[in-house]
Amino acid sequence: MKYFFWSLFYCGSLLLCDVRATYHIAAGDPHLLAAQSHAQRRHDGRPPFRTLNPAKTDSQCRSRPLDLVFIIDSSRSVRPIEFEKVKIFLADMVDTLDVGADATRVAVVNYASTVKIEFLLKDHANKLDMKKAISRIEPLAAGTMTGLAIKTAVNEAFTEQSGARPRSRNISKVAIIVTDGRPQDQVEEVSAAARASGIEIYAVGVDRADMRSLQLMASIPLEDHVFYVETYGVIEKLTSKFRETLCEVKVEVVEDPCKCEARLVFQKKTQAAIEQFTAKLADVSGRIERLENMVGRA
């Protein structure tokens, strides 16, 4: 009887070693599992392939609901033909968004030495009317009071009376500033106040735009919120960039080709079984020892 129990214990120990060797899992040594997890994260972290061509991504991408205000510089340095390029950029941006009362609402603040709200968030609920309103915008021609424009946007364009959704709705508030010059007033404090109120600011500089001023206005991280283009002639390039930024992307689930997830699950289950088996062997060993002691005393 004694030899039978010890044989059983010995065979179980060999089986335990064999299972560990087969699946390369050492109890209490998580290095291999960590390496597997790292490999899987590296594989899963690869971004899904997507095109930035709006004509080909409409079925895959939709903008999240926003209260979006464009703040556009129409000072004397912006020539009429260049200002037309800005208006085309705005119209293209509208085309990429899901515009509507329950989706994205858009307003435009036009500025030079004075500030003019061209239309409010509540004024247009469809793309056609919005683009018609954009086509009617005229440049103001003098000065670059960017700080005043930001303050006006905060105090008048981003209010509930003007069509902004209440905070309880958790609708993102976004301002996109387009300028080609250096502000003639202070922008740091007014921009900080705007950001503190929950407005995310993107700063777009064109040609002679002052990069330091753009950085003072924009939200962080700056690399995601400050853009620069050489001329108004290529500003439409930013449409696809903003589309990528403001979109919610529907990502298709792709089968894991390396089966890393399945392997990790299997290894975790195997290790749990090993630990359970080890506990049972320890229990059997204890019983054998107690039985031997009882036999010895008898």
pLDDT in tens, 64-89: 799 999 999 999 989 999 999 999 99
54-249: what fold?
A: Rossmann fold (3.40.50)
Mean of the per-residue pLDDT values for the chain?
78
Give 6 or 233, the one with higher predicted confidence: 233
Mean pLDDT of 188-216: 95
Q: Which residues contact 240 (CB under 8 A, 6 or more apart)?
A: 52, 53, 54
pLDDT band at 270 (very low <50, low <70, confident <90, very high): confident
pLDDT band at 264 (very low <50, low <70, confident <90, very high): low
pLDDT band at 59 (very low <50, low <70, confident <90, very high): very low
Task: Provide CB contacts within 8 A for 23, sequence distance 6+.
Answer: 267, 270
Return the pLDDT at 171. 93
pLDDT at 252: 38
pTM, entire model: 0.64
Q: Which of 256, 285, 277, 262 is nearest to 44 (CA)?
A: 256
Contact yes or no for 115/73 (Cβ under 8 A): no
Which residue in this structure is represented by tokens 């103001």?
A: 140
Q: Give residue 267's pLDDT.
A: 67
d(CA 140, CA 74): 6
Within 10 A of 173 (CB to CB), how many other CB atoms are there?
22
What is the pLDDT, as a whole number, of residue 265? 60
Task: Using alpha carbons only, give the angle 91, 97, 99 rounded to the nearest 5 degrees.
Answer: 95
Token readout for 216 is 């003072």
The pairing of strands 61-63 and 247-249 is: antiparallel
How high is the pLDDT of residue 62?
64
Sign (positive or negative) of CA dihedral 90, 93, 94, 99: negative
| CA gap 294, 10 in Å, rounded | 22
